[in-house]
Amino acid sequence: MEIQVHNLCKSYGGETVLRDVNFTAGPGVTCLMAPSGAGKTTLLRILLGLERPDSGTVRVPNGCRWAAVFQEDRLLEQLDAMGNLRFVLGKDYREETAAALLAELGLGDVGNKPVRDFSGGMKRRLALARALLAPSDVLVLDEPFTGLDGENRAKALSCVRQAAEGKPVLLVTHDESDAADLDAALLRL
């Protein structure tokens, strides 16, 4: 599986956000790094088909399945962790697999607690678990480690590293140590 981006451009109201972006991403992690407002999230939205570029091309194999962690967690606040995963994964939900990943991410003991009562870091890890469990060929992560302390960040990095062994992972981060910890290719916008 490979993603190819050629001469991608995007502007809003006359302000250029992306100009002639070119890269190829295969299995493993590619970290997108740039200052705030430089178009990282816009690039991810274009790749996911949520926005159209002004020009340029994105090439992915037909039938490519995407999973994502957005900047907002987009969780169902009234449900517990397993309820959120069941809702999103549908027929692909496997309780044992979900429980194992939640435990790996430090969420194994949250019980039936509704997500509205989770801390910000707990919500972030649940959003990451949802994306990691979804059947996908490409994983897109927009600042997935925001709000995580050192121990939970290390757990999350480990899970992302495992996911990247067989598929492209595009990761937006402001932390260069994330790229180093994941042995990631760097793409600076």
Q: Please spell the DSSP secondary structure of 107-162, one letter per residue.
A: -TT-TT--GGGS-HHHHHHHHHHHHHHS--SEEEEESTTTT--HHHHHHHHHHHHH
- pLDDT over 90 (residue 160): yes
Question: How close are the terminal C-alpha atoms of the chain, in Å?
Answer: 23
* Tens-place pLDDT, residues 78-88: 999 999 999 99
* Residue 35: count of CB within 10 angstroms of its CB: 10
Q: Which two tokens stand for residue 48?
A: 């996911």
What per-residue confidence (pLDDT) applies to 80? 96
Q: Which domains does the chain have, with CATH numbers?
A: 3-188 (3.40.50.300)
Greatest C-alpha distance within the chain: 50
Q: Which two tokens stand for residue 181?
A: 């910890």
* Tens-place pLDDT, residues 109-119: 987 899 999 99
What per-residue confidence (pLDDT) applies to 112? 85
- pLDDT over 90 (residue 33): yes
- Can you tell me the mean pLDDT for 143-161? 94
Name residue, tokens 């997108």. 32
**Under a CB-based contact definition with an 8 Å cutoff, are residues 95 and 122 in contact?**
no
* Residue 161: count of CB within 10 angstroms of its CB: 16
- Can you tell me the mean pLDDT for 26-54? 93
pTM of the model: 0.92
What per-residue confidence (pLDDT) applies to 42? 94
